């Protein structure tokens, strides 16, 4: 979504136009859900957080001053929600790092298939699920500040400038965190990649 469209959408959101809210959700639900899912590692928590993110956007849209783009602002809200939810889950001892269980893997598999243009063979599918699971586990083992950077950059394909704005850290910090995150993932995935 380009800047002009984002500005127009923001104006309509401020007027409480129900169509604008629907458009916003349609536009951002997939990238934001994926960020939340990769950060939290649990589909149900990610679904719940997704709703909370949009509710926060709607509640705070009057405070949005347009200093960053609307999408950057929404990503920032999402990452803050993730951090708070993880703290909450850790406090409540409900969170386990290996929450990504087989049922999650199966759910992800069926979802993944819908995104494929071709139908993968059984071996390929099994291998893909295994790698997906390994990556998710390796990401879960990263520090939060490293995980979020690698997700935003390598999974969500955002630019360094966007990541700086979302996380409100300097360019050098983003790059050094990304480097450490990628190196840590490489170490963890090395046996599977040989």
Partner 1 sequence: MEHQEACELFTAYADGELTDVDQAGLEAHLRSCDACREEWEAYRRTMEEVSGLLAVPPPPDTVRLVEKKIARRSRGRFFAETRSTGMSFAMVSFILVLFFILAYLLLTAVNEIQVMEVEPSDEQAGTRDENVPSR
Complex with partner 1: residue 151 or 166, whichever CB lies closer: 151
Closer CB to partner 1, 33 or 91, in the complex? 33
For residue 169, the minimal CB distance to partner 1 (Å) is: 16
Structure tokens at 82: 């993730």
Instruction: Give the three-state DSSP class for 178.
Output: helix
User: Residue numbers of the site for partner 1 (CB under 8 A)?
Assistant: 15-18, 21-22, 25-26, 29-30, 32-34, 37-38, 43, 47, 50-51, 54-55, 58, 108, 111-112, 114-116, 131-132, 135, 139, 150, 154-155, 157, 175, 178-179, 182-183, 185-186, 189-190, 193
Distance separating alpha carbons of residues 181 and 186, to the nearest angstrom: 9
Taking the complex as a whole, the smallest distance from the CB of residue 76 to partner 1 amounts, in Å, to 19
* Cα gap 192→158, rounded to integer Å: 27
Among 83, 155, 166, residue whose Cα is nearest residue 181: 155
C-alpha radius of gyration, the chain, whole number: 18
Q: From CA 169, how far away is CA 172, in angstroms rounded?
A: 8
Min dist CB 69 to partner 1, Å, is 21
Q: How far apart are CA 3 and CA 178, in angstroms?
A: 27
Q: How far is the CB of 98 from partner 1 (least distance, A)?
A: 18
State both tokens at 107: 């759910």
Smallest distance, partner 1 to C-beta of residue 72, A: 20
Give the residue carrying structure tokens 């995980």.
Answer: 147
Give CA–CA dist 152/177, Å, rounded. 12
């Amino acid at each position: 979504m380009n800047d002009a469209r984002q500005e127009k959408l923001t104006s309509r959101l401020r007027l409480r136009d129900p169509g604008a809210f629907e458009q916003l959700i349609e536009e951002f639900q997939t990238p934001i859900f994926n960020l939340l899912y990769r950060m939290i590692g649990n589909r149900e928590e990610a679904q719940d957080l997704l709703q909370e993110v949009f509710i926060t956007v709607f509640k705070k849209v009057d405070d949005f001053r347009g200093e960053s783009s609307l999408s950057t602002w929404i990503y920032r809200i999402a990452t803050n929600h993730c951090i708070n939810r993880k703290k909450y889950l850790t406090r409540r001892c409900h969170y386990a790092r290996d929450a990504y269980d087989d049922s999650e893997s199966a759910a992800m598999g069926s979802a993944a298939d819908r995104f494929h243009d071709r139908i993968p063979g059984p071996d390929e599918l099994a291998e893909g699920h295994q790698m997906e699971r390994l990556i998710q586990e390796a990401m879960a083992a990263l520090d939060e500040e490293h995980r979020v950077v690698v997700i935003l950059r390598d999974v969500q394909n955002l630019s360094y400038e966007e990541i700086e704005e979302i996380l409100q850290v300097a360019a050098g910090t983003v790059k050094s965190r990304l480097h450490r995150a990628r190196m840590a993932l490489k170490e963890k995935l090395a046996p599977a990649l040989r």
